[in-house]
Homo-oligomer: A and B are copies of this chain.
Amino acid sequence: MPKSALRQQLNLSEAVEDYLKAIYQLHEAAQRAGETSARVTTTALAGALGVAPGSVTGMIKKLADDGLVNHRPYYGVDLTATGERLALEIVRHHRLLELYLTLVVGFGWDEVHEQADALEHAISEEFEDRIDSILGGPTVDPHGDPIPSKEGLLPEMVALPLSQCAPDAARALVIARVLTQATDLLRYLAGLGLVPGARIVLLGREPFDGPLHVRVVGDDDTPHAISFQVASLLSIAAPDPDTPH
């Protein structure tokens, strides 16, 4: 049996692929936010996809008929095993493409999201495999988002938002992931050196969810103040034993 027979033979429409991906990502975001057993809501989907709620209900019914989601009317949807498998394939395409477009084609990390959104539906499984091997089997994309394996497994990431870290001038924290796709925000962060892999020191923080003071290690060492909001989008990797005090 060939590689990803599933996607090939099911021949999903672009719309279906987008719905599955959006359901997956909304579910993931809810989990990250601590919601337990998060079903995805019709309005959330409508918002994410830029369509009317009525359109979502219609599509959800088709997805449920096709066995890709479980739908409890008025309570939201849930991916089935098959649905999640397919969603992860699209996510894999998207993230491999983002990395390829930055590393090989030379785009900035703020330019690749929209392009990957279009290309993720158009690349062949063979192209996917080539990208993967050209990049050496990468596990994260330019924003630090984990890339699902060909088999549909996600590297488990243990990470905490910077906004929840305690100041410690003696310990460097490593940015693992940046949870936004907004072009201007990405450019702002890159300007400060706040990108995945960067080591930063959390110098202090103002009370009442006020700004955080950070210094980027290896930079010109100027401290920067960033908003609580922005800090909550920066995922800090689990404490790095290689960098003690």
Within 8 A of B (CB), among A64-116: 101, 104-107, 111, 114-115
Q: Could you tell me if B124 and A118 are in contact, using CB atoms closer than 8 angstroms?
A: yes
Selecting from A126-134, A174-182, A233-241, the interface stretch reads: A126-134
Q: Say whether A122 faces chain B, with CB atoms less than 8 Å apart.
A: yes
Tell whether A130 pairs with B106 under 8 Å between CB atoms, given A122-B121, A122-B122: yes
Tell whether A118 pairs with B122 under 8 Å between CB atoms, given A105-B134, A134-B105: yes
Q: How far is the CB of A134 from chain B (nearest CB, A)?
A: 7
Chain B residues closer than 8 Å to A169, beta-carbon distance: none
Q: Say whether A15 faces chain B, with CB atoms less than 8 Å apart.
A: no
Chain B residues closer than 8 Å to A131, beta-carbon distance: 105
Interface string of A131-150 (1 = CB under 8 A from B): 10010000000000000000
**Closest B residue, CB atoms, query A131:** B105
Q: Could you tell me if B124 and A122 are in contact, using CB atoms closer than 8 angstroms?
A: no
Q: How far is the CB of A110 from chain B (nearest CB, A)?
A: 12
- Give the complex CA separation of A161 and B123 in angstroms: 34
Q: Say whether A154 faces chain B, with CB atoms less than 8 Å apart.
A: no
Q: Say whether A119 faces chain B, with CB atoms less than 8 Å apart.
A: yes
Chain B residues closer than 8 Å to A121, beta-carbon distance: 122
Partner of A107, one of B105, B107, B126: B126
Q: Could you tell me if B106 and A126 are in contact, using CB atoms closer than 8 angstroms?
A: no
**Closest B residue, CB atoms, query A127:** B115
- Give the complex CA separation of A126 and B107 in angstroms: 9
Q: Could you tell me if A115 and B124 are in contact, using CB atoms closer than 8 angstroms?
A: yes
Partner of A119, one of B106, B123, B134: B123
- Give the complex CA separation of A121 and B101 in angstroms: 17
6 A/B residue pairs, CB under 8 Å, sorted by A: A105-B131, A106-B130, A115-B124, A118-B123, A119-B119, A119-B123
In the complex, the 4 A-B pairs of residues with the closest C-beta atoms, listed nearest first: A122-B122, A118-B122, A119-B122, A105-B130
